[in-house]
A = this chain, B = another copy of it.
């Protein structure tokens, strides 16, 4: 399992990136993958579509690392001179790569667009390289291995770059190690990153195979457990003791494995159990419904979401009691309960979830910003979870709404488990 790659650098090319018209998500994606591969990444750089500065950046990069991954600059326009400059750096010329040219012609024929000479440029590749096919675009990538240096050139658009990195670059980077990576992503809710880390610190620091790495997302944490193995089927046994240990220490916060996010986990468990859910929202204003319905196949488990911003709609559509509203106000556990029950009855769903609260700015009905009630109603029980979401900056409203919706989704998962 000797690793040939010792150190690497990411070089992102493009004037739009350099000028800040695009945020560099490619660098973050590649960097994260490199960390999993165990490759030392020392620098990331961004340079414009400028041959002189690109060449200087390449020389600099190869003076300090042995592997350089470039993104961008492979498009058909005049200012995309990446391939020419890199070929020149390696003392190579560009030659027409017939299979790429055929694919290009086929692509233009299929989409009924006209192929220009500029487009044809995309099929010219450095003479001694491995061409990396791009299934999602017209610009192929390539890999040059020469004089102990490895250069992997990928296109700029993330939806082209990411699958190419996974499919082509990872095997190249792992080549001399004969290893394969197998990952499991564990999703936690209700525990912060630092609290989870302090429970699992020794595991994260000491576990080398599999590795355990945390990734914080707004209000949640994902742990990625990655095993480096010769054959994929060996991964399970290697991971087992680590997964067991994580389960012991933080299992009560684990809501799913390889589920992507709360909404996907919710839709999956509802589907598996043949249940339907419905949502009644006040301060989240449709965000719970929006998140559930962004999962494809949500229509099988989600019928109805009501955004009842005004008290009138709460009464008229959700049949919330007028006296309850008067006595406790719209931001109260009593109203959260009635909203959850109301939307469940209205829709005939098995599970009704509700959110009412104050997302700010400013106190409302004397209720502080960040006070939110999540109601959950099923055949067996109605419950209300009070939240105090503290945040006071410019993004407070967005944050409070998001965290409130995450709690609502989490309650749907919990209710589905018990149903």
* 8 Å CB contact of A23 from B28, B53, B136, B284: B28
C-alpha spacing A298/B33, complex, angstroms: 41
Contact B398 A294 (CB under 8 A): yes
C-alpha spacing A50/B41, complex, angstroms: 12
C-alpha spacing A331/B309, complex, angstroms: 27
Which 3 pairs across A and B sit closest by C-beta, in order of nearness? Answer: A285-B293, A20-B31, A286-B289
Contact A397 B312 (CB under 8 A): no
Q: Does any Cβ of B come within 8 Å of A296's Cβ?
A: yes
Which of A94-102, A246-254, A300-308 lies at the interface with chain B? A300-308
Q: Does any Cβ of B come within 8 Å of A22's Cβ?
A: yes
Task: Given contact pairs A159-B395, A304-B307, enumerate 4 new A-B contacts (beta carbons under 8 Å).
Answer: A23-B28, A27-B46, A299-B309, A306-B307
Contact A41 B29 (CB under 8 A): no
Contact A285 B310 (CB under 8 A): no
Q: Does any Cβ of B come within 8 Å of A215's Cβ?
A: yes
Contact pattern, A 6-42, Cβ under 8 Å of B = 1, otherwise 0: 0000000000011111111101111111110000011
19 CB contacts below 8 A, A to B, read: A19-B31, A20-B33, A24-B27, A43-B57, A44-B45, A159-B394, A279-B286, A283-B293, A286-B293, A286-B305, A293-B307, A293-B401, A294-B398, A294-B401, A302-B309, A303-B310, A303-B313, A305-B305, A310-B347
Contact A43 B45 (CB under 8 A): yes
Q: Which of A25, A44, A348 lies at the interface centre, i.e. has the most chain B CB atoms within 10 A of its CB?
A: A44
Q: Does any Cβ of B come within 8 Å of A229's Cβ?
A: no
Contact B24 A24 (CB under 8 A): yes
Write out the residue numbers on chain B whose beta carbons fall within 8 Å of the beta carbon of A50. Answer: 42
Contact A309 B313 (CB under 8 A): no
Q: Determine how close the nearest CB of chain B comes to the CB of A245; give it in whole angstroms.
A: 23
The answer to whether A28 and B32 touch (CB under 8 A), given A44-B45, A317-B317, is no
Write out the residue numbers on chain B whose beta carbons fall within 8 Å of the beta carbon of A27. Answer: 20, 24, 46
Q: Does any Cβ of B come within 8 Å of A290's Cβ?
A: yes
Contact A46 B44 (CB under 8 A): yes
C-alpha spacing A352/B410, complex, angstroms: 32
Q: Determine how close the nearest CB of chain B comes to the CB of A305; give it in whole angstroms.
A: 3
Contact B21 A24 (CB under 8 A): no
Q: Does any Cβ of B come within 8 Å of A346's Cβ?
A: yes
Write out the residue numbers on chain B whose beta carbons fall within 8 Å of the beta carbon of A35. Answer: 19-20
Q: Does any Cβ of B come within 8 Å of A287's Cβ?
A: yes
Number of copies: 2
C-alpha spacing A42/B48, complex, angstroms: 7
CB proximity to B under 8 Å, residues A202-253: 215-216
Contact A286 B296 (CB under 8 A): no
Write out the residue numbers on chain B whose beta carbons fall within 8 Å of the beta carbon of A29. Answer: 20
Q: Does any Cβ of B come within 8 Å of A47's Cβ?
A: yes
Contact B18 A31 (CB under 8 A): yes
Q: Does any Cβ of B come within 8 Å of A114's Cβ?
A: no
Q: Does any Cβ of B come within 8 Å of A323's Cβ?
A: no
Write out the residue numbers on chain B whose beta carbons fall within 8 Å of the beta carbon of A104. Answer: none
Q: Does any Cβ of B come within 8 Å of A329's Cβ?
A: no
Contact B53 A43 (CB under 8 A): yes
Contact A397 B296 (CB under 8 A): yes
Identity of the chain B residue whose Cβ is nearest the Cβ of A396 in the assembled complex: B296
Write out the residue numbers on chain B whose beta carbons fall within 8 Å of the beta carbon of A288. Answer: 286
The answer to whether A23 and B24 touch (CB under 8 A), given A304-B310, A306-B305, A317-B317, is yes
Contact A24 B18 (CB under 8 A): no
Contact B53 A47 (CB under 8 A): no
Q: Does any Cβ of B come within 8 Å of A60's Cβ?
A: yes
Identity of the chain B residue whose Cβ is nearest the Cβ of A311 in the assembled complex: B303
Write out the residue numbers on chain B whose beta carbons fall within 8 Å of the beta carbon of A215. Answer: 21
Q: Does any Cβ of B come within 8 Å of A274's Cβ?
A: no
